[in-house]
Structure 1
């Protein structure tokens, strides 16, 4: 889902100009909806449609609209017909029953730019190229064996973070957990992808790539006028959006080019390492045809896949740990219960190892509840309908953009008792998992477009979360109470805390 809300004022300023141009585009737009029985929704305004119905938090705006119009609503976002699904039943139709009709992605300006023209897994439309890439990455990149091969990286980086927090807290410093979490997962991902850390040895304070990561994440979820008014692409040049997009892309591309060139020089001088990181695997596919892929990878295809790994493994995992710790700071009894379990499992070892995670049943429930109440991507990646079809008796024309609002699904009182309350115990004694088999709980999506890096991301989240609870007793800064904890959200391709989580840490190791 795109970041519509910040440009509402811009749209209002441009309305007179749009009105003139709309005289040409409107007849075609109206003709496309004739003869269809579309889902209900708010009446659209001329030109802008329902864009102004969306606030700075569109997942919340859409939740409220669904409460008024129903679990399947039709919106006109500019010139783009869009259907919002806000229930388990509607999500089941889109992601499971009719998955083959809804498994493509609409092309957006930022998505196309950062995916090198739709060459990756996340933003690519559904086609034979995507199917081959997905088969290859499932076998070679995100397999169980590959996830396990990076165990030592996750444990080492978690240990470095604990040492950094311990040192800073001993010096009387408050802990900016939002910044440190991003640094942790940036280091983990950089080592998995490129085989090296980006922070100084023994440090995990703030990532050197923090600003670049945050800007790219914001732009991936950002608003471009031409995404909703295809004839008005020049407006994005006037607003500076295209310039910002190009600048961030060049910065990201330069980073990838630097790492690729350095690795190629190493391979030329010393040969390939036996301990392959993701870049080694991808570069090998430039010269050898992988049986799961069926074609040689180009440089741009390699970089497009690096985008998915680098940004998918950094921002979403960091916000999950931060939201989880935020909720625990507001629920002391839950915090104590989780800490008691972790400390009992790890004993006197001085750290939590991945072998201990299988004993941490309550912590796993805490993480599930965090993802239910604060999903990293509350609006699942947009789908595009490939052919005319129907859901619940309503027509969904081909080319309609379809979005599942997991915030609405995950807070549906029909499936979740007291859905606004943070209560990990709700996952006790049931089989609800992450794989998309239970459509009331789909933080990673479901069907063909399920997040392929789910297991890799969860492994990092669990080891980080467990060590934070094992190593420290946490408290709010002096003068703050539980009710003072800010729960404001910042919407982008992942939804983070609007303000960083600042805490005090008392070392227990």
Structure 2
């Protein structure tokens, strides 16, 4: 057999050997993935979402009892670290606070909370520190909270009278929600907005709360976030934002024009408008910043799940306060 007839098989074999050596070398040089905390096995695409069931707090508790107080989950396409003990939460929130101080950029937060510039979802940085300082020293100081004690007492009296005057069954959930919104409106905006029937503000806040707590593809499956557009969720969020923004714009205009019912005391809008003129602030406040801070005043205080983000990882922090493992099973 002539040498020329062996050239092609020989070349193919040599090429295969060289490619094999190259692949082995590349695999050796590839950096090893970081060691992750223990966690339950994952399914393709959905990750561990199927294990949260209808009661995520119970599911997280049960998984933490099995895998430990520092647990790794995959929620859709999002790598997630679950912290479920006081000591571990303290280590993250205090010892490693700089690394875990930021929040995730959520789809609904970007659409409804002025690109996450409110106090709850603003990323850690100079702006968040300025807003936090304003909230602690001006809006939520002890003196400011005590100044609205008469408003709270009056609204509680209205709530009690509403219960006393009712002759049939009472929807306490609806009644308490209306009471909370009335207090918020009087403290933040200087007046109630329920004259003559159900409050339009209540409808707006309820819609926003539903959207903030609802499911959207973009937060868990970034590669298919366009499904939120197809499902109509983006359109619904845009419509809700436009209505809330229009309402807050009217509130600012009323206070600037002196037509708001302040009842001889300054509400939170008055305080923010005065701070907007303060040249000593670290960062200037735009009207959108004021609206973002005002939207934070109506967020539910019962939210017990805090969201944080470090670089490309989302951290869901759930602190279980020395709860008996059987106390939630009912």
Q: Contact 2:127–2:283 (CA<8 Å) still a contact in 1? A: no
Once the two structures are superposed, the pairs formed by residues 40-439 of structure 1 within 5 Å of their partners are 40-168=38-166, 172-200=167-195, 207-266=199-258, 275-289=265-279, 291=280, 293-309=281-297, 311-312=298-299, 315-316=300-301, 376-379=302-305, 381-385=306-310, 398-406=311-319, 409-410=320-321, 412-413=323-324, 419-420=327-328
- Secondary structure of the structure 2 residue equivalent to 1:210: helix
Q: 2:18 matched to which residue of 1? A: none
Q: Contact 2:81–2:315 (CA<8 Å) still a contact in 1? A: yes
Q: Contact 2:308–2:315 (CA<8 Å) still a contact in 1? A: yes
Once the two structures are superposed, the pairs formed by residues 458-469 of structure 1 within 5 Å of their partners are none
- Secondary structure of the structure 1 residue equivalent to 2:99: helix
Q: 1:362 matched to which residue of 2? A: none
- Secondary structure of the structure 2 residue equivalent to 1:401: strand
- The CA distance in 1 between the partners of 2:94 and 2:275, in whole Å, is 32
- The CA distance in 1 between the partners of 2:283 and 2:96, in whole Å, is 29
- The CA distance in 2 between the partners of 1:235 and 1:399, in whole Å, is 22
Q: Give the TM-score normalised by structure 1.
A: 0.55
Q: CA deviation at 1:278?
A: 0.3
- The CA distance in 1 between the partners of 2:111 and 2:184, in whole Å, is 22
Q: Contact 2:80–2:313 (CA<8 Å) still a contact in 1? A: yes
Q: Contact 1:182–1:206 (CA<8 Å) still a contact in 2? A: no
Unaligned residue ranges in structure 2 (runs of 5+): 1-29
Q: 2:10 matched to which residue of 1? A: none
- The CA distance in 2 between the partners of 1:88 and 1:140, in whole Å, is 30
Q: Deviations over 1:21-41 (max 9, x none)?
A: xxxxxxxxxxx9942111111
Q: CA deviation at 1:163?
A: 1.4
- The CA distance in 2 between the partners of 1:59 and 1:214, in whole Å, is 23
- Secondary structure of the structure 1 residue equivalent to 2:316: strand
Q: CA deviation at 1:138?
A: 0.8
Please provide the CA RMSD for this pair: 2.5
- Secondary structure of the structure 1 residue equivalent to 2:241: helix
- Secondary structure of the structure 1 residue equivalent to 2:276: coil
Q: Deviations over 1:97-134 (max 9, x none)?
A: 22222111010101122220121110011011111111
Q: CA deviation at 1:287?
A: 2.6
Q: 1:450 matched to which residue of 2? A: none
- Secondary structure of the structure 2 residue equivalent to 1:73: strand
Q: CA deviation at 1:197?
A: 1.3
Q: Deviations over 1:441-478 (max 9, x none)?
A: xxxxxxxxxxxxxxxxxxxxxxxxxxxxxxxxxxxxxx
Unaligned residue ranges in structure 1 (runs of 5+): 1-31, 317-375, 386-397, 422-486, 488-509
Q: Deviations over 1:231-289 (max 9, x none)?
A: 3221111112111211221222122112112222227xx9x996210001111233333
Q: Give the TM-score normalised by structure 2.
A: 0.83
- The CA distance in 1 between the partners of 2:239 and 2:54, in whole Å, is 24
- Secondary structure of the structure 2 residue equivalent to 1:101: coil
Q: CA deviation at 1:229?
A: 2.2
Q: Contact 1:87–1:412 (CA<8 Å) still a contact in 2? A: no
Q: CA deviation at 1:206?
A: 5.7
Q: CA deviation at 1:175?
A: 1.8
- Secondary structure of the structure 1 residue equivalent to 2:238: helix
CA gap of 1:274–1:206, structure 2 versus 1, over 3 A, is closer
- The CA distance in 2 between the partners of 1:90 and 1:294, in whole Å, is 34
